[in-house]
Amino acid sequence: MQRRGLLARLAALGVAALAGCTEASGPTGPTGPPASPTPPTPTDTPTSGIVVESWDVKNGTDGSLIVPIVLKNTGDRTGSRKVLLDIQAGDESVERTRDVTVPAGETKRIEIDAGVTYEAFLNDGSVDLRLEGEG
């Protein structure tokens, strides 16, 4: 009879030990789409007149890379600058330019279609933003 008690205790111990092994595990991997990369600080940009107040990268409605830029004219007269974007996405290298005029003391928001897909940009892409000109 003691043998049956011993076997019952061993069986109960085995079931308890395997209890965690039979449960289904939850999903693994990312919980959603990758986060938008944080753009670097613009290079070669002026510190007075028209300046870059902020910029970002986003996924356009058609899957293209869009670069929204907010420019502020800190000067006392209307100014103009050329916005230059150098975009690297995979094997593609693209340059985009836009001439922008901003009245004194005002802010202007523009969006530039980078000409590459957002997905290609996420795979080790980069954007370099510069301003040229006086204003």
Q: Which helix (H) or strand (E) holds 15?
A: helix 2-18
Could you tell me whether strands 64-73 and 58-59 are parallel, antiparallel, or unpaired per DSSP bridges? antiparallel
- What tokens does 87 get? 């975009």
Q: What is the pLDDT of residue 76?
A: 92
Q: What is the pLDDT of residue 124?
A: 82
Q: In CATH, what number does 50-132 get?
A: 2.60.40.10
- Judged by DSSP in three states, 29 sits in coil
Q: What is the pLDDT of residue 24?
A: 43
Q: What is the pLDDT of residue 123?
A: 83
The pLDDT tens digits along the chain (135 residues) read 455 554 555 555 555 555 554 444 444 334 334 444 555 555 555 567 899 999 999 999 999 999 999 999 999 999 999 999 999 998 889 999 999 999 999 999 999 999 999 999 998 899 999 999 876
DSSP string, 104-127: TT-EEEEEEEEEEEHHHHHTT-EE
Q: Domain coordinates of the chain in residue numbers?
A: 50-132
Half-sphere exposure of 102 (CA within 13 A, CB side): 29
Closest Cα partner for 85 from 69, 74, 101, 71?
A: 69
